Amino acid sequence: MSTSFIHDRIEINPKILAGKAVIKGTRIAVEFILELLSNDWSHELILENYPQLEKLDILAAIDYARKIVKEEQIHPVEIEE
Protein backbone atom coordinates (compact mmCIF):
# COMPACT_ATOMS: atom_id res chain seq x y z
CA MET A 1 0.00 0.00 0.00
CA SER A 2 1.37 3.40 -0.91
CA THR A 3 1.24 6.64 0.98
CA SER A 4 -2.15 8.32 0.88
CA PHE A 5 -2.54 12.09 1.21
CA ILE A 6 -5.87 12.98 2.76
CA HIS A 7 -5.07 16.66 2.90
CA ASP A 8 -1.99 18.39 1.53
CA ARG A 9 -0.55 18.29 5.06
CA ILE A 10 -1.91 14.94 6.32
CA GLU A 11 -0.61 11.57 5.18
CA ILE A 12 -1.44 7.95 5.92
CA ASN A 13 1.37 5.49 5.35
CA PRO A 14 1.29 1.96 6.78
CA LYS A 15 5.03 2.27 7.48
CA ILE A 16 4.54 5.30 9.75
CA LEU A 17 2.80 4.83 13.12
CA ALA A 18 0.98 1.74 11.82
CA GLY A 19 -0.92 3.80 9.27
CA LYS A 20 -2.31 6.48 11.56
CA ALA A 21 -2.92 9.89 10.04
CA VAL A 22 0.18 12.04 10.64
CA ILE A 23 1.39 15.48 9.70
CA LYS A 24 3.22 15.04 6.40
CA GLY A 25 6.96 14.58 6.85
CA THR A 26 6.70 13.90 10.60
CA ARG A 27 5.75 11.13 12.99
CA ILE A 28 3.31 13.46 14.77
CA ALA A 29 -0.17 11.93 14.67
CA VAL A 30 -3.30 13.96 14.05
CA GLU A 31 -4.69 12.21 17.13
CA PHE A 32 -1.82 13.63 19.24
CA ILE A 33 -2.44 17.20 18.06
CA LEU A 34 -6.15 16.83 18.85
CA GLU A 35 -5.25 15.48 22.29
CA LEU A 36 -3.06 18.51 22.97
CA LEU A 37 -5.85 20.85 21.88
CA SER A 38 -8.38 19.03 24.06
CA ASN A 39 -6.00 19.48 26.99
CA ASP A 40 -6.19 23.25 26.47
CA TRP A 41 -2.89 23.68 24.67
CA SER A 42 -2.94 26.80 22.50
CA HIS A 43 -1.69 26.78 18.94
CA GLU A 44 1.24 28.86 20.13
CA LEU A 45 2.17 26.35 22.85
CA ILE A 46 2.04 23.46 20.39
CA LEU A 47 4.25 25.34 17.92
CA GLU A 48 6.69 26.28 20.68
CA ASN A 49 7.04 22.65 21.78
CA TYR A 50 6.97 21.15 18.27
CA PRO A 51 8.86 23.66 16.10
CA GLN A 52 8.72 21.35 13.07
CA LEU A 53 4.98 22.11 12.89
CA GLU A 54 3.32 25.14 11.36
CA LYS A 55 -0.03 26.66 12.27
CA LEU A 56 -1.47 25.25 9.03
CA ASP A 57 -0.55 21.74 10.24
CA ILE A 58 -2.68 22.23 13.35
CA LEU A 59 -5.56 23.55 11.27
CA ALA A 60 -5.20 20.60 8.87
CA ALA A 61 -5.44 18.18 11.82
CA ILE A 62 -8.64 19.86 12.99
CA ASP A 63 -10.05 19.81 9.46
CA TYR A 64 -9.17 16.12 9.06
CA ALA A 65 -11.03 15.31 12.29
CA ARG A 66 -14.01 17.40 11.13
CA LYS A 67 -14.21 15.44 7.90
CA ILE A 68 -14.05 12.10 9.73
CA VAL A 69 -16.84 13.11 12.12
CA LYS A 70 -18.92 14.56 9.28
CA GLU A 71 -18.80 11.24 7.43
CA GLU A 72 -19.66 9.24 10.54
CA GLN A 73 -22.76 7.14 10.18
CA ILE A 74 -24.99 6.43 13.15
CA HIS A 75 -26.89 3.16 13.20
CA PRO A 76 -29.52 2.95 15.93
CA VAL A 77 -29.57 -0.27 17.87
CA GLU A 78 -32.67 -1.50 19.64
CA ILE A 79 -32.06 -2.48 23.23
CA GLU A 80 -34.51 -4.85 24.80
CA GLU A 81 -35.34 -4.20 28.39
The predicted model gives 28-35 an average pLDDT of 98
Give pTM, 2 decimals: 0.82
DSSP 45-56: HHHHH-TT--HH
Domains of the chain: 4-71 (1.10.10.10)
pLDDT for 1 beyond 50: no
Residues 6 or more apart whose Cβ sits within 8 Å of residue 43: 55, 58
The predicted model gives 36-65 an average pLDDT of 96
Euclidean distance between CA atoms 59 and 62, whole angstroms: 5
> Residue 77 in 3-state DSSP?
coil
Instruction: Please state, rounded to an integer, the average pLDDT across all residues of the chain.
Output: 91
Euclidean distance between CA atoms 3 and 13, whole angstroms: 5
Residues 6 or more apart whose Cβ sits within 8 Å of residue 14: 1
- pLDDT (tens digit, 9 = 90+) per residue, 7-25? 789 999 999 999 999 999 9
